[in-house]
Amino acid sequence: MSGHSHWSQIQRKKGANDQKRGLLFSKLLKAISITARENPDPQFNPRLRTMIDKARAANVPNDNIDRAIKKSSGTSNLSEVLIEAYGPEGCAILVEGITDNKNRTISEIKHILSQNDAKIAELGSVLWSFEKRDNEWVSKFSNQISEESIKKIDKLISLLEDHPDVQRVITNTK
């Protein structure tokens, strides 16, 4: 019994879970702030209503949701970012994000891509292979790639989604 603190066992699990929850909360609240700029009333803004529902499903406190909506009605400098990239074996990658500093975010994403056998593409060179349906990007064509590249892409997607400014990563791989 000596040397085994019950709190140290709980703390390890709780710390990891709290970090994941906090990252999810911040992404959802940034998205709410962006969508609330158009119209801060959820009755007249269906995108905002959808984002609020997603936040409530993730157990984001109502105070935080209200604060994000009020923050956006003032002068907020958050903006949406859409980054196009090529991954291993030429697979197309779209990275959607919300940031307060586009240059910093693009630089950090570019760094993550370069370390994982991927690179930023010219504007429009990847976007043509995707279409927007119900505010979601969907691939028009799927790209068959090797098993080894699938593992690389999964690792890359995981690293990109861990970035605090990235909201969603979409690829055209099967």
Domains of the chain, by residue range, sit at: 6-73, 79-171
From 14-18, 22-26, 72-76, the region with the lowest mean pLDDT: 72-76
Which residues lie below 8 Å from residue 133, measured CB to CB, with a gap of 6+? none
Match 């158009």 to its residue by tokens. 38
**In this structure, are residues 108 and 115 in contact, taking their beta carbons and an 8 Å threshold?**
no
Q: What are phi and psi of 164, to 5 degrees?
A: -65, -25
Mean pLDDT of 50-59: 94
Cβ neighbours, 10 Å, residue 101: 14
The secondary structure of the chain in percent helix, strand, coil, rounded to multiples of 5, reads 50, 20, 30
Per-residue pLDDT at 7: 79
User: For residue range 114-124, what is the model confidence (pLDDT) as tens digits?
Assistant: 999 899 999 88
- Provide the CATH number for the domain formed by 6-73 in this structure: 1.10.10.200
Indicate the pTM of the whole model. Answer: 0.63
Query: How do 79-86 and 92-99 pair as beta strands?
Result: antiparallel
| Contact indicator for 42, 49 with CB cutoff of 8 Å | yes
Token digits of residue 168: 């969603």
Residue that has been written with the tokens 């927007």 in this structure: 132
Check if CATH label 3.30.70.980 holds for domain 79-171.
yes
**Mean of pLDDT values over 13-29:** 87
Cα dihedral 115, 27, 59, 14, rounded to 10, equals 40
Query: pLDDT per residue over 60-111, tens digit each?
Result: 999 999 988 887 776 557 788 999 999 988 899 999 998 888 999 999 999 9
